[in-house]
Amino acid sequence: MIEAAGYAPTIVQYRKVGWTRAKLEELLAAMGAKPRDVLREKGTPAAELRLVDSTVSDDAIIEAMIEHPILVNRPIVVTPKGTKLCRPSEAVLPLLDRVPAEFTKEDGEVVRL
């Protein structure tokens, strides 16, 4: 959607390069979020690591995210208008100065704005 709006985003391949504590904390602060807010459970070892338990500390979740980058939900989009976990993809619209007339989602759904 971002590219359909005419932007050339910088994409961070976090599953390959991993996360640093500083970067995760920076993104969380910019979003006003807690680590649990961006914890990806589906298709990850989150349950196996017992991270879904509400008593697990933020620090423990961040440490797990550093060790297992897949635990961070995506995409997290950063623009001059803000930082946000953009799921579903339409959540990115308030962060853009211009939007496409339409775009096709990864699942093939066509969205017309």
The percent helix, strand, coil of the chain (3-state, each to 5) is: 35, 15, 50
105 pLDDT tier (thresholds 50, 70, 90): confident
Task: Give the pLDDT score at 30.
Answer: 97
Task: Give the pLDDT score at 102.
Answer: 86
20 pLDDT tier (thresholds 50, 70, 90): very high
Rounded average pLDDT over 88-101: 90
Residues in Cβ contact with 85 at an 8 Å cutoff, skipping those fewer than 6 apart: 31, 33, 37, 38, 73, 74, 75, 76, 91
CATH of domain 14-100: 3.40.30.10
Its pTM stands at 0.87
Q: Is the pLDDT assigned to residue 43 strictly greater than 90? A: yes
Rounded average pLDDT over 31-40: 97
